[in-house]
Structure 1
Amino acid sequence: MNEDKLILAMAEDKLTQCQENYMITNTGFLDMRQQTLCKKMLRSRSDVRGFFYGGYSDSERRIGVFIPEYIHMETEEELHEYFLNNIEDNPLTLIRAEHSGYKELTHRDYLGSLIGMGIKREAIGDILVHQKGADILVLRTITEFLLVNYSKAGRTNLTLREEKIERIISAEVYSEERNVTVASLRLDNVVAAAFKLSRSAAVQAIKSGVVFLDGMQTEKPEKIVGQGDKIVLRGKGKTVLREIGGNTRKDRVYITIMIMK
């Protein structure tokens, strides 16, 4: 609870700076639960515009960005386009780390080595691991420090360079398409089918706050899921409800889900 209060106080402070100084301000990187807290806060503030930005469309860790009145934008897509055209205003940098070793490095290797350098978690966004290395999104304020000092993940040497954000290599791929039936389109039913859980385990996961529907933490098992919705079960993975079909003879619903890795 104290951490939640600190996150909200930090976000409100950045929001106030935006209003008083007529400038774009931003928080550090927020996880999905923290984003949910800030989104709820923003809903109660009709006097400001706030968006969440992680450098690419499917990012999980995002910064809160507060926009002054003189900049005209209404959607996160417009914010993304603005930063592409106004690089100097973009608070994020894409660092591409490449290695020549034979050992395949993991997300944990990169994150652990960064934290080991004393970098705070809120300065680090998504780490997208690919065959040659990883694309790492960070706050612009630590870019120069990383380029000079970040040279190893584990015992593997790294070569770093700053890259244009639009050239990010997304490692997220659909690993499986699955056709299943569910009793209804309730969130607990879809979570159980997607992640091969019992319905009671799905309900418990939702109520414990580790399930996110389209980026929002939800603790309501009865919430209805729609076509195209993205579900994240923390620690288990992601799925997208790709298609809703008709009903079976027993009145169950055919759905197609895409499992992501």
Structure 2
Amino acid sequence: MIKKELILKSISKLEDKLLVSKVLDKVAKSEAANSYAHSDFLDPYQRSLVHGALEHIKGLRYTFWGGYDGAERAIVVFHPDFAYEDEMHDQNPLRLLTIADKSREELSHRDYLGALMSLGIKREKIGDIVVRKDERENSCSVIVLSDIADYICYNLSRIGRARVSVSVEDTVNMEDAQKRVKEINATVASLRLDCVASAGFGISRSKICDYIRAERVNLNWEMSSSPTKQVKQGDIISIRGQGRVAVEDIGGNTRKDRIRVFLKKFV
């Protein structure tokens, strides 16, 4: 028996309570029918929150799955008593879309996501988006819930001025997506959020502060409202529409008393 009210009582934010409540409803559905059930896509912060809540349910069988190993966004799948985790692939609720740009336009992650959401699709129905560019073709791999895959195939033909084609396949056949990574060695005046973000994204501190005021900046997947928030090794800074930066290492001070940082920017 799920002690839903007891689990929710330990969560302070209303939006977090609503999220966990929806996931617990999926648990109840899975247990009642002794069948598979799954959530919408969760970002890493949401996944951590949900994992903490599910740990209170003894004997619950579940798996986080984003379509491939190392996926950033993932759903949580609940397994019936009779099933093995390997059988999840037979019940795979995810699909891989390949969106090919026929016009050779310079389309970004934001362009692809914007086009999908313009079809009336909510963000939680869409998983990782990996933009690929080579000499022959620009394309994008997108993980989505299976129930919207055909809708996207039939309705997405243009992204801005670019003509695109969409194909769909089972994500089991998808090779691990390799996001483009830019390594950055920099020095910063302090470990304040605005300083480190400025070095990582190549944007002025004043512009970073504008993004913070506009609630576009997350620190470890939570919206941050303070540019003076201290950043530490292992933290993830993300700006909506700009990608994310991982703080890989914090070194010593330079002769001018600036702090050395090693960052990785994912685009």
Structure-2-length-normalised TM-score: 0.67
* CA contact 1:32–1:212 (8 Å) conserved in 2: no
Aligned to 1:225: 232
Deviation at 1:49, TM superposition (A): 5.5
Deviation at 1:15, TM superposition (A): 1.8
Secondary structure class of the residue paired with 2:41: strand
Q: 1:10 aligns with which of 17, 22, 25?
A: 22
* CA contact 2:149–2:168 (8 Å) conserved in 1: no
Deviates more, 1:20-29 or 1:99-108: 99-108
Secondary structure class of the residue paired with 1:30: coil
Aligned to 2:217: 210
Secondary structure class of the residue paired with 1:29: coil
Structure 2: how far apart are the matches of 1:209 and 1:110? Answer: 19
* CA contact 2:217–2:237 (8 Å) conserved in 1: no
Q: 1:136 aligns with which of 133, 142, 147?
A: 142
Structure 2: how far apart are the matches of 1:57 and 1:160? Answer: 21
Aligned to 2:98: 96
Structure 2 gap ranges (5+): 1-12
The residue correspondences of 1:175-214 to structure 2 (distance < 5 A) are 175-181=182-188, 183=190, 190-191=196-197, 193-195=199-201, 198=205, 205=212, 210-213=217-220
* CA contact 1:106–1:129 (8 Å) conserved in 2: yes
In structure 2, give the amino acid aligned to 1:94.
L
Q: Deviations over 1:60-95 (max 9, x none)?
A: 4332333456668xxxxxxxxx56x74213221112
* CA contact 1:182–1:193 (8 Å) conserved in 2: no
Aligned to 2:129: 127
Q: Deviations over 1:109-134 (max 9, x none)?
A: 44444344444443222222223321
* CA contact 2:97–2:166 (8 Å) conserved in 1: no
Deviates more, 1:243-252 or 1:117-126: 243-252
Structure 1 gap ranges (5+): 73-81
Figure out how many residues of one structure are paired with residues of the other and give that number: 245
Structure 2: how far apart are the matches of 1:10 and 1:176? Answer: 38
Superposition CA RMSD, Å: 4.2
| CA distance 1:89–1:98, shift in 2 (3 Å) | same
In structure 1, give the amino acid aligned to 2:21.
A
Structure 2: how far apart are the matches of 1:251 and 1:88? Answer: 57
Secondary structure class of the residue paired with 2:40: strand
Superposed structure 1 runs of 4+ greater than 6 Å apart: 69-72
Deviation at 1:257, TM superposition (A): 1.2
In structure 1, give the amino acid aligned to 2:247.
L
| CA distance 1:2–1:71, shift in 2 (3 Å) | same
Aligned to 1:240: 246
| CA distance 1:102–1:188, shift in 2 (3 Å) | closer
Q: 1:258 aligns with which of 257, 261, 264?
A: 264
Secondary structure class of the residue paired with 1:28: coil
Q: Deviations over 1:125-158 (max 9, x none)?
A: 22222233211111122334444x2451246141
Query: Identity rate of aligned residues, in percent?
Result: 30
Q: Deviations over 1:207-234 (max 9, x none)?
A: x583232xx42759666623x5543233
